[in-house]
């Protein structure tokens, strides 16, 4: 076998995304890995690196490095558990690409699995108990601020105040995402959605309605990276550029601490790729709440100077827009599997496997990941290889 200097994504495996309790993360991860190996037409014997990611918080079924044995691997040169919240997936891709380029490994599997839906308890309860009981989180809990919905509602209120965004902008994000999801067989919410349907959705924490919030699932996605040109899916996707930014927020003083610091991650990824924003055919952004897509479109300078709400309401993120965005329905209507959601959809689009939602001629994609309350930003530029 021969190898190149370029590192490519050569395999993709996705389980069914379930909204009901079922298999544990380890079982889901093994299934996703099996599917990715079959997609790349290789076996575990061809793999010498494994990176695993899991949802934050200490949970008994959390995926970790023990999955190497649970997943049937052996004789690995690279084995790590990566944890940067929602930025983890892109961090895994970055780590794998650097390891392959340095000769530390040849073919690396990256896998994320989660199963927040358990019998007798909803996903909201599972996520609400992550983060610990001390420090700022402890004070929040004592005040009744549990989980991400109320904290992102506070963030949304502040951003709408400083940016002039309107509730109609949130509605435009939600309905556009749903329009994409209608044609995505993997999406868990595919019923067409109107603006009136959005307004009929109950408020959970002002200004966020139920439809403004992501759809958690039990599921797993695995991807495979390699520089071995003799293996892999026929549609190889080159990792052209990566970037990360960690603003290190301090929310204990009066200064603005919600926003800023993310654009550098995209700038670095594009510079690494030797590209500009005009080269992008689509963007797949981390969107746990509708307001986050609006914020990131502006933060990452993807709207050509327009306000994000105006950009979305004009249809620019839709099927015939200037920058098709979250083309599988994102995490709002597709499925919430943290950073693997945008990565998997980018791979589907660049492989031209999107069916009725396929973006014609798509060859370059930006994938974005965030962690915490915009505490971590990660960006990845992928290109369909010649």
- 52-66, 104-118, 133-147: least confident range: 133-147
Q: What percentage of residues in the chain have a pLDDT greater than 90?
A: 82
Tokens of 11: 């395999």
End-to-end C-alpha distance for the chain, whole angstroms: 19
Tokens of 99: 């390891």
pLDDT 10s digits, 72-102: 999 999 999 999 999 999 999 999 999 999 9
Specify the pLDDT at position 1: 47
How much is the mean pLDDT over the chain?
Answer: 92
Answer yes or no: is pLDDT of 61 > 50. yes
Specify the pLDDT at position 55: 83
Answer yes or no: is pLDDT of 9 > 50. yes
Query: Model confidence at 125, in pLDDT bands (50, 70, 90)?
Result: low
Specify the pLDDT at position 4: 76
Tokens of 84: 């940067």
pLDDT 10s digits, 263-289: 999 999 999 999 999 999 999 999 999
pLDDT 10s digits, 17-45: 999 999 999 999 999 999 999 999 999 99
Q: Supply the DSSP symbol for 147.
A: S
CA angle 213, 157, 317 (to 5 degrees): 55
Specify the pLDDT at position 146: 59
Specify the pLDDT at position 135: 63
Specify the pLDDT at position 312: 98
> What average pLDDT does the segment 178-194 reach?
97
Per CATH, the number for 3-119+217-228 is: 3.40.47.10
Rounded Cα–Cα distance for residues 269 and 93 (Å) = 13
| Higher-pLDDT residue of 174, 260 | 174
């Amino acid at each position: 076998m021969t190898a190149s200097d370029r590192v490519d994504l050569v395999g993709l495996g996705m389980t069914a995304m379930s909204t009901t309790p079922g298999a544990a993360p380890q079982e889901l991860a093994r299934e996703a890995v099996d599917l990715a190996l079959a997609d790349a037409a290789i076996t575990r014997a061809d793999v010498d690196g494994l990176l695993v990611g899991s949802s934050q918080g200490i949970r008994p079924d959390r995926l970790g490095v023990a999955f190497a044995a649970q997943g049937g691997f052996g004789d690995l040169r690279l084995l790590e558990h990566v944890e940067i919240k929602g930025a983890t997936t892109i961090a895994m891709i970055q780590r794998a690409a650097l390891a392959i380029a340095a000769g530390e490994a040849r073919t690396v599997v990256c896998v994320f699995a989660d199963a927040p839906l358990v019998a007798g308890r909803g996903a909201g309860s599972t996520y609400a108990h992550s983060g610990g009981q001390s420090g700022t989180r402890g004070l929040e809990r004592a005040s009744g601020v549990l989980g991400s919905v109320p904290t992102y509602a506070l963030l949304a209120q502040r951003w709408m105040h400083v940016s002039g965004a309107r509730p109609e902008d949130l509605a435009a994000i939600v309905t556009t995402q749903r329009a994409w999801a209608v044609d995505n067989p993997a999406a868990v919410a595919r019923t067409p959605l109107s603006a009136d349907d959005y307004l009929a959705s109950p408020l959970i924490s002002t200004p966020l309605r139920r439809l403004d919030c992501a759809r958690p699932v039990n599921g797993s996605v695995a991807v495979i990276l390699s520089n071995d040109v003799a293996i892999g899916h026929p549609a190889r996707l080159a990792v052209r550029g990566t970037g990360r930014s960690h603003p290190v927020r301090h929310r204990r003083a009066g200064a603005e601490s919600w926003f800023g610091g993310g654009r550098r991650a995209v700038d670095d990824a594009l510079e690494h790729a030797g590209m500009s924003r005009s080269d992008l055919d689509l963007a797949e952004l981390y969107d746990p709440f509708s307001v986050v897509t609006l914020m990131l479109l502006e933060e990452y300078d993807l709207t050509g100077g327009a306000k994000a709400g105006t950009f979305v309401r004009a249809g620019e993120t839709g099927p015939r827009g200037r920058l098709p965005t979250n083309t599988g329905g994102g995490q709002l209507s597709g499925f919430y599997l943290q950073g693997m959601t945008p990565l998997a959809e980018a791979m589907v689009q660049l492989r031209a496997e999107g069916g009725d939602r396929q973006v014609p001629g798509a060859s370059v994609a930006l994938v974005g990941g965030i962690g915490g309350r915009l505490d971590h930003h990660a960006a990845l530029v992928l290109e369909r290889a010649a």
